[in-house]
Amino acid sequence: MSRTGLTKWLYFGLHIKRWLALLVVSVAIMGLGLAYLLREVYVTYTFPEWAYWATLQFIPRWARGLLFISGASTLAVFAGWRLNRSLAEAVAPQVRGGDLIDLVYARRTQERGPRIVAIGGGTGLSNLLRGIKRYSSNLTAIVTVADDGGSSGRLRRDLQVIPPGDIRNCIAALADAEPLVTELFQYRFREGDGPAEGVGGHAFGNLFIAAMAGVTGSMEDAIAETSRVLAVRGRIVPSTLEDIVLGARMRDGSTVRGESRIPASGLPPEEVFIEPHDAPAHPAAVRALLEADLIVIGPGSLYTSVLPNLLVPGLGRALKESRAYTILVTNVATQRGETNGFSAADHYTAVRRHLGAERLVDAVLANSNLPATPFPPLWGAEPVHAHGDDDYAGARLVLADLVDEQRRLRHDAEKLASAVMRLYFERDLRIRAEALVP
């Protein structure tokens, strides 16, 4: 993506070079036709003396030919560059630097990208999507519908719709719309804010999706239409359309029901479950998992964002049956009330235990950029360590700098996407190398 625009016009697979070649041939034929006409005029008409100097006849013909060709080439390159910029500014003003070839190059390469499925919820999933959409437009985000707190919980109770919060975050992350539109979609009304009374605490995007569900008649259509309006790259699919409740059995033997109540209890869960336990998986989510080239589990709140998706029986089975390269991305920091003291191996162990699988992923991706000093006590978190001698059940432990330096409790979208795609493409190269070994 860092190559010059002029070089990108010649890349394979853009469906541009053939038309450029045809344009060059047509201009050459036109020039040849003009040359025949000029020669006919030259031999039948006597020009005044100034024409001798104006047409550079005092220069040898081969030199005049080279001069005209170089001049015409310079004008053609300049005109193409200006046309490129003008079209970009008119058609896609959001393109960086106003370069149309950047847009064409990105779209063509993304269309040929691997089929990627991301499983999770919250800010972790949206961070991953924000970075990885640069590499492929064949994206499917599977999001949890167990949220029952905040704006999503209120809309879920009042309008009987699946919670739109995580869906909203994914739409904002994958949108190609103007930044202001995305910012508007994420805008949250303040509590008791004058004219906002009654919608205080709600995110505009949540209200938009809920309203779209009322207009279209279903949440599925609402997601599809909202994605179309905001030019979303990829698909967002709820793990199930069932009204599920997330529950947890805590380490002291008690049981807590409700996604928002689990971390609020202050006791790390021993096990989480969904009710009804046989909630049907969304068919599009199952199909995406079975057809995927790459599956990324996480990041996100382990017990309240990631596992609720995998506990839907159809999705758990599809994940086990999928032949895709699978990566588990562990969080960069522990979460109070959920993963206190967890290491990278503990994250993977919890996922395997809940799905009853001995081995589930090909690689565990963990952060290597640990802080020099402990986190402040008010954060209620500590870095997630990845120890090489822990049990990863045959999965490959991969360490990389994944942390956002400005918000050390979260992943950096670009770093995370780069690490995930590097793992995938390295895996592809290893398979090819092994195939060449006799």
> In 3-state terms, what secondary structure has residue 400?
strand
Residue 249 pairs in a beta bridge with: 255, 271
Tokens 């409790």 locate to 409
Task: Quickly list H helices, 332-384.
Answer: 344-355
Contact between residue 345 and residue 387 where contact means Cβ atoms under 8 Å apart: yes
**Topology of the domain comprising 109-436:** Rossmann fold (3.40.50)
Distance CA 21, CA 119 (A): 44
Reference 42, options 57, 63, 28; nearest CA is: 57
130 φ/ψ angles, rounded to the nearest 5 degrees: -60, -35
CA–CA gap between residue 55 and residue 64 (Å, rounded)? 9
Could you tell me if 292 and 262 are in contact, meaning their C-beta atoms sit under 8 angstroms apart? no
- Going by C-alpha positions, the residue among 142, 93, 91, 98 that lies closest to residue 116 is 142
pTM (2 decimals)? Answer: 0.78
Average pLDDT per consecutive 10 residues, the chain (438 residues; last block may be shorter):
54 68 85 85 81 82 86 83 67 54 63 89 89 91 90 87 91 82 85 62 91 92 91 92 93 90 85 94 96 94 94 95 96 91 94 92 95 88 92 92 92 95 83 60
On whether the CB atoms of residues 275 and 95 are closer than 8 A, the answer is no
pLDDT for res 2:
43
Question: What is the DSSP secondary structure assignment for residue 379, as one 8-state letter?
Answer: G
Closest CA to 272 of 326, 243, 310: 310
| Residue 92, CA atoms < 13 Å, CB-side half-sphere | 17
Amino acid at 348: Y
Cβ–Cβ under 8 Å, residues 140 and 196: no
DSSP-assigned letters across all residues of 286-313: HHHHHH-SEEEE-SS-IIIIIHHHHTSH
Q: How many CB atoms lie within 10 A of CB 340?
A: 14
pLDDT at 160: 87
pLDDT of 384 reads 95
Count of other CB atoms within 10 angstroms of residue 2: 3
Alpha-carbon distance 117 to 139, whole Å? 6
- CATH 3.40.50.10680 positions along the chain are 109-436
